[in-house]
Structure 1
Amino acid sequence: MRRGRAGEGEWADPDARWLRSVMDGAFLLLLGSSLIRFLTRDHEGTHTGYAVTLFAAFGLLYVLGRLLAPAPRPGARPSARHLAWLGAVSVVWAGLLVLAPSATWCAMPLLFTGLQTLPVRTAVPLAAVLTVLVVATELRLSHEGLNPNVVVAPLAISAVATAVLVHLQRQAARQRVLIEDLVRTRRDLAATERRAGVLAERQRLASEIHDTLAQGLSSQQMLLQAADRTWGTDPDAARRHMRDAAGIASRSLAEARRFVHDLAPADLAERTLAEALRALADRECGDGLTVGFRLDGVPGPVPERVEAALLRIAQGALANVREHAWATRAALTLTWLDDQISLDIADNGRGFDPERPRTPDTGPERGHGLPAMRVRARQLGGTLTVESTRGEGTVVSAAVPLATPAT
């Protein structure tokens, strides 16, 4: 429907129909009263027919213009058709004044129409011309000497109307600029949120791959290398390494399938968090490393997201212990408090300086190790701290509130 589109001028504004009806009604009333006054008081016999014809042409032109040359939408330039109509109806009105001075006040709707739709630099001169014609006509009708109101009243009314409408026009222009800025800002904000969502998803995928597939492949590589070294001297140990590598491959495959379907870690499928951590500790034992598990407090319900994040943090920390710490003992401690749950991963390895950035000389760059753990804890409204001293081991502590914030 044409009336429902934003580009259809007055129809786009819900108040435009009301304003248009008032202006059209005022014009028709003024036109009718002016014609009655002319026929009853001001007509001159020789010009009556011409004047009535101009009255009819004036009214018909006004109505046709409203239908065929509608006003432009706010802020848009008026069309050539609308300008031609406004000029024609003004010329007919000026000619009508010569024969029927009683049509003076029909200028008011024209004044408002011009001020409402034309640019300020065009509307103000038009208002001045209409006002001058009104004053001149009123002076011509005055038969009792100069009446100051005849001059002052039209000027005052025109000045007030012009000032108010110009002010409203400029205020509307400023509001349109603000709305455009708001729409543009919302569009930019939506794009920024989409980019942030993409980056967050990438970070999540990187963390999941690092904590599952990458760690599994790393463990398999270490076991296969150990099997290769001992195959000739200790076939039983080599076979044991091969079986361990096969077991890790099986678990990694299960994790990959659950990862594809965006499910919880496989260890949590049929276990509680404490049971999953105990199973993780048992699996990580071997090759000179002993991992223990300790539970403090009374276990309670924990959101699945918290369970998954803490298990991933434990997996990442133990992977660091096995690959970098040269430790012989490690311990997982899960603690339930009134308002939070914490997990500590401690080892007796060589330690490192947490404040010193990784370099090729100080150790391999893990990329998604500790940073990924911090991201997981932060996403749940928690914290992750690392305490370590060279030669004295490392303690990684994650604390997460039980009432996690929604993300």
Structure 2
Amino acid sequence: MNTTAPASPVPTTRLLAWCLHLLVAGLLALAAGRAVADGEPHAPAVVAVAAVLGLVYAAGPSMRSTHVSRRAAAVWLAAVGVVWLALLVLTADGVWIAFPLYFLQLHLLPRRTGPAVVVATALAAIVAFAAHSGALTLATAVGPALGAAVAVAVVRGYQALYRESERRRRLIEELTLTRADLAAAQHTAGVLAERERLAHEIHDTLAQGLTSIQLLLRAAERALPGRPELAARHVEQARQSAVDNLAEARRFVAALVPPSLEGITLADALERLCTTVSARHPLTARFRLTGTAVPLPTGHEVALLRIAQSALSNTVRHAGAATADVTLGFPDGRAVRLDVVDDGRGFDPGLLASPGPDGGGFGLAAARARAQALGGTLTVQSAPGHGTTLAVRLPLGGL
């Protein structure tokens, strides 16, 4: 219902609110219509009071104060109650208005006050009904009392369901945060494991090789000038050790750098990627370089190339685009920027599926993780029918 105060624990759907409004309007019309049809002497007064009650009731949902203030809502309920009592004095049909009033009172008033007001409203309805019928009987008391009991039970049950729903929502949020923390911990563990592996590799190969070269050169130094043949042999052994270490270093680089980056710059690799995509798919991919290019760390080149590959793959698979523009920019010498813009069908980034076992949703998450691991940012701007723009910015530090 739109007449809720923010402190109220029970949210009412718009459909239920309109049902309650229509119920009040129908009962008021019934009371006024019956008074006129039965030719009651107070028929004009009944019609007038019913109209006033309808206006006072309609004022509540239309006033903002009843939405944001429990006190304003209580004042509005009191005004409705006063006019209802006047209608109750004039006609017994006003008793039926008590039923929607029960829900309003339980919904808008504090948890302890609401039931007490409902009891008072039921008593007023019973007394008025007995006065109009001329006697207080069990039948005159059962209707209003039973209606009050049903209203309390329904509202309390709805409140319990809402609290359970809120508890589950908070639990889901906690599970989501825990899953994110677990993913971050797993990523950190993977990084540390890879660092440890590389440390072992370097220690077992390059470090030992460099130590060997140092020892051989010292031996050659000691052999000079008295034993030049021995010194020459030590130098040759040191040279061969250097060749072996260079091969090991190249093996490390080959293991860490994508083949598409071997021997060429990132700009060349991106241009080649666009050419390949254009040749293999019905998409015109164009590359552009802006600013003055500077040498990038291997990690930056690998991350930007992988992100561009993923973005163009998504464009081919999902966007239905005719063109895609890949721009590598060096705007200020302190950062490198990659933009991938397509003219496809676009999508709502807020409705993007979470990564799941069916293979969907991992590309963008992986790209964002690559950017964040290097201290950068990744943003996606898109809307249905307006294409997609993916922008990555990586800081260059002291380069």
Query: Normalization by structure 2: what TM-score?
Result: 0.55
Within 5 A, what are the aligned runs for 1:6-405?
Answer: 16-41=13-38, 43-45=40-42, 49-69=44-64, 79-143=70-134, 145-212=135-202, 215-233=205-223, 234-258=230-254, 260-261=256-257
Change over 3 Å in CA distance of 1:42–1:252 after alignment to 2 = farther
**Contact 2:66–2:76 (8 Å) recurs in 1:** no
- CA distance in 1 between counterparts of 2:78 and 2:138 reads 30
| Distance in 2, Cα, partners of 1:126 & 1:8 | 20
The letter of the residue matching 2:103 is F
Amino acid in structure 1 at the alignment position of 2:205:
Q
Matched position secondary structure for 1:232 = helix
Q: CA deviation at 1:150?
A: 0.7
- CA shift in 2, pair 1:263/1:85, >3 Å: farther
One-letter identity of the residue aligned with 1:40: A
Per-residue deviation, 1:49: 4.8
Counterpart Cα distance in 1 of 2:155 and 2:65 = 19
Residue 34 of structure 1, CA deviation: 0.8
Q: CA deviation digits over 1:98-126, x for unaligned, max 9? A: 23332121122121122234432122112
Are the aligned partners of 2:66 and 2:72 in contact in 1 as well (CA < 8 Å)? Answer: no
Q: Distance in 2 between matches of 1:263 and 1:9?
A: 61
Q: CA deviation at 1:32?
A: 0.3
- Residue 70 (structure 1) shift: 8.7
| 3-state DSSP of counterpart to 2:112 | helix
* 8 A Cα contact 1:231 1:238, kept in partner: no
Whether the aligned pair in 2 keeps the contact of 1:115 and 1:165 (CA below 8 Å) is yes
Give the ranges of 4+ consecutive aligned residues of structure 1 lying more than 6 Å apart after TM superposition: 7-10
- The structure whose Rg is larger is 1
Structure 2's unaligned 5+ residue stretches are 224-229, 263-399
Whole-Å separation in 1 of the counterparts to 2:54 and 2:142: 28
Distance 1:199 1:157, change over 3 A: same
Q: Deviations over 1:69-97 (max 9, x none)?
A: 5986xxxx864433332232122212322
CA RMSD of superposed structures (Å) = 3.4
The aligned length equals: 251
- What code does the residue aligned with 1:245 have? S
Shift of 1:221: 1.2
Distance 1:128 1:136 in 2: 12
Are the structure 2 counterparts of residues 126 and 20 from structure 1 closer, same or farther at C-alpha, using a change threshold of 3 Å?
A: same
Aligned to 1:403: none
Offset from partner CA, 1:178-199 (integer Å, 9 cap, x none): 3212212321221232122122
Structure 1 gap segments, 5+ residues each = 267-407
- Secondary structure class of the residue paired with 1:120: coil
Among the aligned pairs, what percent are the same residue? 18
Q: Give the partner amino acid of 2:111.
A: V
Cα separation, 1, equivalents of 2:165 and 2:198? 48
Cα distance between partner residues in 1 of 2:204 and 2:121: 84
Mapped contact 2:99–2:147 kept (Cα < 8 A)? no
2:266 maps to which residue? Answer: none
Counterpart code for 1:159: A
Within 1, Cα distance between the matches of 2:160 and 2:152? 12
AA aligned to 1:257 is V
When residues 210 and 108 of structure 1 are mapped into structure 2, their CA distance, relative to the original with a 3 A threshold, is same
One-letter identity of the residue aligned with 1:204 = E
